[in-house]
Homo-oligomer: A and B are copies of this chain.
Amino acid sequence: MTTTGVHPLRELLPEGSVFDDVDVLEAHRRDRATFCPAGTPSVLVRARSTEDVATTLRWADEHRVPVVPQGARSGLSGGANAVDGCVLLSVEKMDRILDIDVDEQLAVVQPGVVNGVLAARAAERGLFYPPDPGSRSVSTIGGNVATNAGGMCCVKYGVTGDFVRELEVVLADGRVMRTGRRTAKGVAGYDLARLIVGSEGTLGVVTEVTVALRPASARPLTAVAFFPTVADAAGTVAGYLGEGYRPSVLEFMDEPTVRCVQRVADLGFPDGTAGMLIAQSDRGDAAPDDLAAFERVARSFRATEVVVADDPVEGEMLMQARRLIGDSQEHLGALLIDDVCVPRGRLVDLVTGLERIAEEQRVQVLCAGHAGDGNMHPVVAFDADDPDESARAQRAFDDIMALGLELGGTITGEHGVGHLKRRWLGRELDPAALWAQRQIKNALDPHGILNPGRVLPDG
């Protein structure tokens, strides 16, 4: 398993699939998580078929070599970072859309298909693939399945797992399993497809995904509301949803987040505003009523201004600005990106708690996110060259997770546990649940070769 000499997988896999050049390995060591350790891989396999994946795993299981599955490496929790001596098993080149079945409203894709590409191809056929993680222009369906990725649509349409019908999965010892089904319903045996979804490459490697599509929705109408305090914005979210409205998007940005985005796109953010909400409705003729109700609720929470976009293009520009959040914050320094999710009635407590944490740890904490789901993205910005500030940033990050749990929420709404939140999993799950998770991991991967050190804490 050294990087010199001929790697044994070269004998087993098609030519051009196995790479042990130091530069190539270095370029594939990490996903987009900051401050997660990355080890030194022994080899990179670029699988082009299920058989390549099965061959790799069979060999690795026999020789007890760790395997780290990779897609676009756009994850935010270190789940695709190398571990020492591992095989990096990339399915990025398995990127074909195998079928879009218009009559059954299904798509069958390889794991390396980019989310946005699938969505665009589906749209060309009059269909809609809702899950829309912020990374959708680069992240792949395989990675979306591995993390049960969310996005802005979830408040109305649900997460990746809600659209997965059938999976082909290569298990740790190289067995190829099909699980789930193409039909709308089915209860034949345990729901292994749903178990694999969100398992972050620790239970198997997904090599084919059948997803449900929906009929295209009407082009959404958009409204924005500006608030004097973040608590008013949070109160509007709970109030509006509590009245029974189901917006297709309900996003929050606080003032520091907006200030970043304003550097690259104008959101028309009035002075003296602490936060804003973006709401959309895609219910066609009913959309104006939905947004009128949003305006009414927002004004009851002291909104200083509410603007309903006259035409869909304006709304789409606003959404594009929303998607710039990540890039627009890079100048702030190092960033720790969180994704706690709380009951929406506790959003007010979350945003006010973030202010307290920022003060206590003397770091900047920005906050935006999928407010309609209570799934927020607090971002701790700090100077990584300052050891004291870095330590305070890490404490703030921990405090945010503690706050999420204290409010009846979860440490991760959509990014996954990976390496980043592994220490915290044992604080969220009770001992029986942790035991059950370990039993399942051991049952399906008895030699522990699949993405070791991810998700489940040691011990």
Contact = CB atoms under 8 A, between A and B. Distances in A.
A399 B147 CA distance: 40
A229 interface: no
B183 A342 contact: yes
Contact of A443 (B159, B191, B442): B442
Number of this chain's copies in the assembly equals: 2
A179 interface: yes
Contact of A343 (B104, B429, B431): B104
Interface string A192-222: 1011011100010000000000011000000
Contacts of A435: 175, 177
Contacts of A433: 177-179, 189, 192
Contacts of A430: 177-178
A331 interface: no
A187 B414 contact: yes
A413 B191 contact: no
Nearest to A174: B432
A40 B165 CA distance: 39
A154 interface: yes
Given A195-B194, A238-B103, A433-B179, A188 B244 contact: no
Interface in A93-124: 102-105
Contact of A412 (B184, B186, B203): B186
Looking at chain A, what size class is its interface with the partner chain? 35 or more
Nearest to A442: B443
A214 B331 CA distance: 42
Interface string A223-257: 00000000000000010011111100000000000
Nearest to A176: B432
A342 B182 CA distance: 8
A304 interface: no
A55 interface: no
A128 to B, nearest CB: 9
A222 to B, nearest CB: 21
B192 A244 contact: no
Contact of A198 (B191, B428, B442): B191
Contacts of A421: 188
A165 to B, nearest CB: 10
A160 to B, nearest CB: 10
Contacts of A185: 150, 154, 159, 341, 370, 373-375, 410, 413-414
A62 interface: no
Across chains A and B, which 10 residue pairs bring their CB atoms closest together, nearest first? Answer: A215-B244, A177-B432, A443-B443, A194-B194, A186-B410, A439-B443, A175-B432, A184-B373, A185-B413, A183-B341
14 contacts: A155-B184, A159-B185, A177-B433, A177-B435, A177-B436, A179-B429, A184-B344, A184-B374, A185-B410, A187-B414, A190-B440, A192-B436, A195-B440, A440-B440
Given A440-B440, A442-B443, 15 more contacts: A102-B242, A147-B187, A179-B436, A185-B414, A187-B413, A187-B416, A188-B411, A189-B417, A189-B425, A189-B433, A191-B194, A191-B195, A194-B194, A285-B285, A439-B444
